[in-house]
């Protein structure tokens, strides 16, 4: 492999690391649930081009959101020992290049939405505002975790709109699951920066309430999320496959709370990435199987 090719491969790896591409596993399974609800539950015709466009929208939107977060937080990240080695503060990626990367992905997101349907196109600007606005919220509100949850919750309803062009209660319930689930585990992740956030006048639930109370809020959000999972299953009349996935998802939801204690945060990353990533995939697989078997 030539030096140029090696350099290009490394550059791609740097940008994938910048946006934490592996974290796509959180929202993407719920986008596939939303798409499947439209095609199977609502009995719309399956079209490959819509599935591809939906996936592209997911990639472009999430890339823009994460890239902007890294760009906006570059000076904060440089001060925090936990994040100082991220690509922009470490000098691996130039800040201006990162911003252009965000602009390009934002434009690609809107353009792709235009070729889906007009409702999705018009709402793409709202979605873009929400996911980019999140990066500012830690500067003025401890509810930043909820805003992140709202941003990711656009995945199931957005995917549903790609196919149908109209809103419905069922994908909205799945969006509610995402809001409370993501907000809850983001609070757990933020426990690592409690002292740093407080000393730098940044806002988060852990910084505002302390570790113990923050874990209590996270638990409450996950209880609500579990309730919405049950509500979706009952209201839609899902079968055994859904309930199998629901039990596993809820189990993993609460398993992460056994890993993280007020006096022991050593397993935060396992709780954040492993249990939630696996949980979302399992839940999506069994939900889609349930839809197929309806």
pTM of the model: 0.94
H or E stretch including 42? none
Domain 23-293, what fold? Tetracycline Repressor; domain 2 (1.10.357)
What are the pLDDT digits (tens) for 215-225? 999 999 999 99
What are the pLDDT digits (tens) for 101-120? 999 999 999 999 999 999 99
Residue 261: φ, ψ to 5°:
-120, 155
* Alpha helices (runs of H) in the chain, residue ranges in sequence order: 3-18, 28-36, 48-72, 74-79, 95-114, 118-137, 144-164, 169-190, 194-199, 205-209, 211-236, 240-259, 268-269, 276-293
> What span, in angstroms and rounded, lies between the C-alpha atoms of 210 and 144?
16
What average pLDDT does this structure show over 251-267?
Answer: 91
Query: Domain extents for the chain?
Result: 23-293
Per the CB < 8 A criterion, the answer to whether 31 and 182 are in contact is no
Position 6 scores a pLDDT of: 62
What average pLDDT does this structure show over 136-143?
Answer: 97
C-alpha angle 25-118-61 in degrees, rounded to nearest 5: 25
What are the pLDDT digits (tens) for 11-65? 888 887 787 766 677 899 999 999 999 999 999 999 999 999 999 999 999 999 9
Which of 74, 69, 76 lies closest to 201, judged by CA?
76
What's the N-to-C CA distance of the chain in angstroms?
Answer: 51
């Amino acid at each position: 492999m030539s030096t140029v090719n090696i350099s290009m491969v490394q550059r791609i790896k740097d940008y994938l690391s910048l946006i934490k591409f592996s974290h796509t596993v959180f929202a993407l399974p719920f986008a596939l649930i939303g798409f499947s609800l439209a095609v199977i539950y609502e009995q719309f015709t399956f079209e490959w081009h819509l599935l591809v466009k939906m996936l592209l929208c997911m990639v472009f939107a999430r890339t823009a959101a994460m890239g902007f977060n890294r760009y906006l937080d570059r000076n904060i990240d440089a001060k925090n020992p936990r994040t100082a080695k991220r690509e922009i503060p470490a000098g691996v990626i130039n800040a201006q290049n990162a911003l252009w990367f965000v602009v390009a992905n934002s434009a690609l997101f809107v353009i792709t939405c235009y070729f889906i349907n007009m409702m999705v196109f018009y709402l793409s600007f709202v979605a873009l505002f929400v996911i980019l606005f999140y990066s500012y919220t830690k500067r003025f509100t401890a509810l930043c975790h909820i805003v992140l949850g709202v941003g990711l919750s656009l995945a199931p309803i957005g995917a549903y709109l790609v196919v149908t062009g109209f809103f419905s209660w069922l994908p909205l319930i799945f969006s509610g699951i995402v809001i409370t689930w993501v907000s809850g585990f983001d609070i757990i992740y933020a426990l690592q920066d409690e002292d740093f956030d407080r000393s730098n006048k940044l806002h988060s639930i852990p910084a505002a309430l302390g570790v113990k109370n923050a874990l209590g809020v996270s638990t409450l959000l996950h209880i609500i999320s579990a309730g919405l999972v049950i509500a979706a299953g009952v209201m839609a009349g899902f079968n055994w496959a859904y309930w199998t996935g629901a039990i596993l998802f809820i189990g993993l939801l609460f398993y992460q709370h056994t890993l993280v204690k007020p006096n022991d945060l050593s397993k935060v990353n396992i709780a954040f990435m492993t249990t939630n990533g696996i949980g979302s995939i399992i839940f999506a697989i069994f939900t889609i199987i349930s839809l197929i078997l309806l």
